[in-house]
Each structure stands twice: as C-alpha cells, then as structure tokens.
Amino acid sequence: MSIDKWLTEEEQEPSVEKTGQETHNSEELKDAKLQKIRDLVTKSNSKNQEVKKQESAAIQGSEENDFLSYIIKFKEWLNQRNYLKGDLDKLEVWVKNLYNKLELDPEDTHEVVRDKKDLLNDLKKEFRDIPPQLLEEKVRIAINKKLRGTQKTSSDTYYLRKIKKITEEKLKEARYYKIVERILNL
C-alpha cells in the first residue's frame, strides 16, 4: 500500500498551506518567521545596549559607590541563603571579588615595591656603618642573611632573637640617656 492513497490533494502540495480563510505560500510564511526573529533580535540587542549603557554609567561613578553597591548586593545574596555550606564556592568567589576591589592599583603596588627596595638598600648601607666590634660575628652573619633574603638556619634565628632583646634593652637605656642629655643641655 502506498501512502499516496491516504493523502488528499491539498496535503500533497507542500507549497500551499491554509491558515484560517487565507492561503499563504510557504515561502511567505518563512519570510514572516524570519522577520519576527529579526525583530526579536533587534529588540533584545537594543535592550542589551541599554543595559550596557547603564552599566557603563555605573562604572563611571565613584569607586566608593561601586564598592558599596557591590557589598549591598553581596549582603542581599547572603540574606537569601539558608544553608551556606552548599554555597561555599560562591562565597569564596564573592570574597575574592571584594578583595580584588580593595586591592591597590598596579601602579601603586609598583611604588610600594620600589619603596621597599630603596628602604632595604638604605638599611644595607647603614648596616655597613656599624663597627664590626659592636656585634658578634654570628649575629652579624644572621643580620646579613636577613638583609639579603637568603635562607636562615635555626642558629641564625636564635641570634636574631638574641640581638632583638639586646637592642630593646639598649633602646630603653637610650631613652634615659636622652633625658640626661636634655638636662645637661639646659
């Protein structure tokens, strides 16, 4: 048996379809569908552009307001959660984003690094001015390792702690000597 017997003549013509009382070509229907799709895409694109404009306007606002609005969004998100154990990864992302918003600009961090390097170089120069007889040899070696950033042994850490206690005591004594110096300069 063939299928043609069961189909009527109207159903066999693929190019003509009946909708209501009017007849339309399938090509016209395809064109109409494509036009509707294009309209929907243009509407969604215009909405996306409006959202992007609003976001760019928000970005151009002050950074403090952005940070505060981000914290408020985080608070709202957190208040909606009943069971935080399941949201640990999301919480971690929120916290990382908050931390990133607080970080300094890369230019500022470079300045801080330069300042540390300059400070370290100045300390190295000042350390060279200390007479060798003032400090023990092992203390001097431990301080050199600390200034250069090389790995310290346990004895080095011991000597560093020892010299730290000695300097604290000497600084206390120095305060008293300053008082005596002021009295003598009157």
Residue ending a domain, choose from 91, 117, 134:
134
Is residue 54 in a domain? no
Distance, CA of 78 to CA of 84 (rounded, Å): 8
Element spanning 114, H or E: helix 106-129
- Across 41-59, b (16+ Cβ under 10 Å) vs e yields eeeeeeeeeeeeeeeeeee
So what's the pLDDT on residue 175? 92
Question: Do residues 127 and 147 both lie within one domain?
Answer: no
Question: Do residues 143 and 180 both lie within one domain?
Answer: yes
Cβ atoms 141, 156 nearer than 8 A: yes
Count how many domains the chain has.
Answer: 3
Question: Do residues 157 and 141 both lie within one domain?
Answer: yes
Nearest to 70 by CA among 102, 92, 48, 47: 102
Spans of the chain, pLDDT less than 50: 21
Domain residues for the domain of 154 are 135-186
For 146, other C-beta atoms within 10 Å of its C-beta total: 15
| DSSP code, position 6 | T
Is residue 25 in a domain? no
Residue ending a domain, choose from 83, 103, 123:
103
So what's the pLDDT on residue 21? 43
Burial of 117 (0-12, 13-18, 19+ CB in 10 A): exposed
Distance, CA of 28 to CA of 35 (rounded, Å): 10
Q: Is the pTM of this model over 0.75?
A: no
Is residue 20 in a domain? no
Cβ atoms 160, 146 nearer than 8 A: yes
Is residue 24 in a domain? no
DSSP 11-70: HH-TTEEEETTEEEEHHHHHHHHHHHHHHHHHHHHHHHHHHHHHHHHHHHS-HHHHHHHH
State pLDDT tens for residues 73-124: 888 888 887 777 777 888 888 888 877 777 655 555 556 667 778 888 888 8
Residue ending a domain, choose from 85, 103, 121:
103
Question: Do residues 130 and 146 both lie within one domain?
Answer: no
